[in-house]
């Protein structure tokens, strides 16, 4: 039985490949099982769905809490394995949720800069990525 995540990922993968010629390099570097952090820079609103379609395994994503304030959108992104994080503060609930997922062997997507780049340039990363990896004992 296919989940909402699986169905939407298949549709988006077809569209991204057809429209944008999506090509994935280095897939062999992503562990096929066990906890792993997928850390990416964030320059577009398309980054989360593009990464979700590019990976061969489902991703759980940390997303800014503001996205969860719109009920319909909140419902959809929760079905797509997203969970909220409060930016600009130590969000213990989000950290605990991410650690739990990693220890359960899930792939967790996060954006180390903590926000989308407005100019396309790489910003300074936050310390949370390394801390999560060390605490969960998973690769980045």
pLDDT digits (tens, 9 = 90+) for 75-101: 999 999 999 998 877 789 999 999 999
Quote the pLDDT of residue 60: 96
Cα 134–45–95 angle (5° rounding)?
Answer: 25
pLDDT for residue 125 is more than 80: no
pLDDT at 45: 83
| Predicted TM-score (pTM) above 0.85 | yes
Q: Higher model confidence: residue 124 or residue 70? A: 70
Residue of 58, 139, 60 lying closest to 97 (CA atoms):
60
At 1, the pLDDT band (50, 70, 90 cuts) reads: low
Which pLDDT does position 42 carry in this prediction?
Answer: 85
Backbone angles phi, psi at 82, to 5 degrees: -90, 150
- Residue-wise pLDDT for 22-76, tens only, equals 888 888 889 999 999 999 888 888 889 999 999 989 999 999 999 999 999 999 9
> Which candidate, 89, 107, 102, places its Cα nearest to that of 132?
102
């Amino acid at each position: 039985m296919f989940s909402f995540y699986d169905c939407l990922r298949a549709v988006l993968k077809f569209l991204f490949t057809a429209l944008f010629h999506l090509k994935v390099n280095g897939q062999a570097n992503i562990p096929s099982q066990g906890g792993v952090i997928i850390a990416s820079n964030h320059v577009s609103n398309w980054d989360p769905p593009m990464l979700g379609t590019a990976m061969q395994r489902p991703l759980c994503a940390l997303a800014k809490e503001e996205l969860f304030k719109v009920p319909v959108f909140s419902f959809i992104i929760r079905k797509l394995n997203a969970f909220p994080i409060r930016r600009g503060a130590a969000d213990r609930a989000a950290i605990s949720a991410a650690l739990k997922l990693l220890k359960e062997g899930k792939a967790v997507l996060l954006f180390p800069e903590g926000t989308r780049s407005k100019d396309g340039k790489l910003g300074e990363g936050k310390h949370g990525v390394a801390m999560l990896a060390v605490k969960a004992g998973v690769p980045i």
